[in-house]
């Protein structure tokens, strides 16, 4: 008995780039929420400095996530599938 050619395989039908888009949106939301809470906790800032502080904190989140965590930690050989070539 042969395999059904019309079977749905989610891995092959779900576009891979959407996972990166979802990850980026989640990172933006979390980093912006933390940046706003942190900037609002510091009193005596002018609006310009407040905006620069929020932008800097969001930028640090991106650097830490994409270079530090994703680039160095999640790319280790021990985390890769041993069946891949």
DSSP state string for the chain: -PPPTT---HHHHS-THHHHHHHHHHHHHHHHHHHHHHHHHS-S--HHHHHHHHHHHHHHHHIIIIIIIIIIITT-GGGS-TT--
Amino acid 67: pLDDT = 84
* Domain, as residue range, for 59: 31-74
Q: How many domains does the chain have?
A: 1
14 in any annotated domain: no
17 in any annotated domain: no
7 in any annotated domain: no
Average pLDDT of span 17-22: 84
6 in any annotated domain: no
40 in any annotated domain: yes
9 in any annotated domain: no
pTM score, two decimals? 0.68
What mean pLDDT, rounded, does the chain reach? 82
């Amino acid at each position: 008995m042969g395999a059904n050619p019309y079977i749905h395989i989610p891995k092959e039908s779900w576009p891979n780039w959407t996972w990166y888009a979802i990850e980026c949106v989640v990172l933006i939301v979390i980093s912006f929420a933390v940046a706003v809470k942190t900037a609002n906790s510091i009193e005596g800032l002018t609006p310009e400095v407040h905006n620069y502080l929020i932008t800097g904190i969001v930028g640090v989140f991106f650097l830490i996530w994409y270079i530090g965590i994703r680039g160095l930690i999640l790319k280790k050989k021990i985390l890769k599938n041993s069946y891949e070539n």
